Amino acid sequence: MKAFFTTVSLLILCVIKINSQVVLSANGPGETYELINSVLAPNYDVVEVPDCNHTSFGRHIDEIFDADLNKNVFRFFIHTENDNDRCKTFDRQRNEIKAYDKSPDNLKAIAGEKVIYTWKMKIDKDFQASSSFTHLHQLKSVGGDYASIPMYTLTARKGTPDKLELRQTNTNDQETLKKVDLSLLKGHWVTITVKIAYGNEGTYSLSIKRIDNQNIVFEYENNAIDNWQDGADFVRPKWGIYRSLNNVTDLRDEEVLFADFSVEEVSSLSIADLKENNQKIKTFPNPAKNTILIKESTTDRFSEVYIYNILGKLIERKQQNLDNTIDVSNLKTGSYYFIFKKNKNIVSKNTVIIK
């Protein structure tokens, strides 16, 4: 058993810096919905389109070859007439793709994780925004009291001049963090990069860079921001065009282009976190199957335990309970790191085998 633990520890130290990345890129005309679903939620449907009321048009997302990027890209259609929100809501129009509860775990962010989202986008030079909202990207919580409102939104808004706004909330009342003249993006391919550390003491940065001249047209950074809506199970990304019909005369039929969606989870557990175990907390049995018992040898009791897999990905966060047990029945067979914390400080580090 000692040799096994040594081998596992060496393996962990070798691979801990590996990041988990999911990439969705267009591969040519045909079966676009099937391609999107195969990446964002295999065997399920993550495409939210207005096809139901506009069957004569056909699919509202397709793939075309783009001469500027010299590759295939996704084209999202939205029409002022006939299109609505999936035949459910009629004061707005939605054509979006998303991750959700049926998506792979590495597309669902949880507290403690660091994630990098990147994608390319092009809106037309004559793009018309709603005066209410024209969302192009959202990060939305699933679960909790605030799941109905996106935590982060990139939205275009009609004005003098039109603006692209970055909006955020950790509750149910969004505020605008920054805005920029939308004309800086119109007619140009841009690369959008979002870096976010999820949690009540999180960080966030956004960069929008034109591909043709590499000029940064929108930049925002905050190293002390609440990036978690209480009660949330996880956070999922959405992309597309989702706009209000409150002032339909402001709008026109649009085609928004997207390419190369990427969701990359950055390992949030460092090698330094793993090197020492002060043995203040003992966990048994080890290996474990359903429940782990906890024995503390200090009065400085832990308040939370963070469970990481061997790649350094945060799997789960649990609060201390009265009977000093941890339910691990949902964990897959393998080796895990249990990091016990109090007031964000590590008080013990344990390796546990789940069988």
Instruction: For 79-89, write each residue's pLDDT tens digit.
Output: 999 999 999 99
Mark whether 125 and 178 lie in a shared domain.
yes
Mark whether 210 and 296 lie in a shared domain.
no
**pLDDT at site 345:** 74
Number of H helices, E strands in the chain: 3, 22
Mark whether 235 and 327 lie in a shared domain.
no
State whether residue 354 is helix, strand or coil.
strand
Distant-in-sequence, close-in-space partners of 126: CB < 8 Å, separation ≥ 6: 186, 252
Picking from 204, 233, 266, the residue at the C-terminal end of a domain is: 266
346 pLDDT higher than 50: yes
**pLDDT at site 332:** 87
Mark whether 252 and 286 lie in a shared domain.
no
Q: Which is higher by pLDDT, 284 or 36?
A: 36
Mark whether 290 and 303 lie in a shared domain.
yes
32 pLDDT higher than 90: yes
Mark whether 160 and 306 lie in a shared domain.
no
- At residue 7 the predicted structure's pLDDT band, cuts being 50, 70 and 90, is very low
Mark whether 308 and 260 lie in a shared domain.
no
**pLDDT at site 19:** 57
**Which structural domain range is residue 283 located in?**
2-11+270-354
Q: Are 229 and 172 in contact (CB under 8 A)?
A: no
Which one-letter DSSP state was computed for residue 267? Answer: P
Mark whether 277 and 195 lie in a shared domain.
no
Distant-in-sequence, close-in-space partners of 10: CB < 8 Å, separation ≥ 6: none
Q: CATH no. for residue 173?
A: 2.60.120.200
172 pLDDT higher than 90: no
**pLDDT at site 97:** 98
Q: Which is higher by pLDDT, 78 or 12?
A: 78
Q: CATH no. for residue 296?
A: 2.60.40.3080
**pLDDT at site 279:** 59
Query: Burial of 220 by CB count in 10 Å (0-12 exposed, 13-18 middle, 19+ buried)?
Result: middle
Mark whether 235 and 297 lie in a shared domain.
no
Domain total for the chain? 2
- At residue 340 the predicted structure's pLDDT band, cuts being 50, 70 and 90, is confident
Picking from 266, 288, 316, the residue at the C-terminal end of a domain is: 266
**pLDDT at site 300:** 63
pLDDT in tens, 226-270: 999 988 999 999 999 999 999 999 999 999 999 999 999 886 565
**pLDDT at site 13:** 35
pLDDT in tens, 199-231: 888 999 999 999 999 999 999 999 999 999 988
Mark whether 216 and 88 lie in a shared domain.
yes
12 pLDDT higher than 80: no
277 pLDDT higher than 90: no
9 pLDDT higher than 90: no
**pLDDT at site 35:** 98
Question: 71-78 and 216-227: which strand pairing?
Answer: unpaired
- At residue 147 the predicted structure's pLDDT band, cuts being 50, 70 and 90, is very high
**pLDDT at site 324:** 83
Mark whether 291 and 231 lie in a shared domain.
no
- At residue 5 the predicted structure's pLDDT band, cuts being 50, 70 and 90, is very low
**pLDDT at site 249:** 93
299-318 average pLDDT score: 79
Q: Which is higher by pLDDT, 120 or 9?
A: 120
Q: What is the mean pLDDT of the chain?
A: 88
| Measured CA angle at 185 (ends 182, 191), to 5 deg | 130
3 pLDDT higher than 50: no
| HSE-CB of 253 using CA atoms within 13 angstroms | 8
pLDDT in tens, 316-331: 888 787 778 889 998 8
DSSP per-residue codes, 142-158: ESSTTTTS-SEEEEEE-
Most confident of 98-112, 231-245, 297-311, 316-330: 231-245
Which has the minimum average pLDDT: 72-86, 131-145, 262-276? 262-276
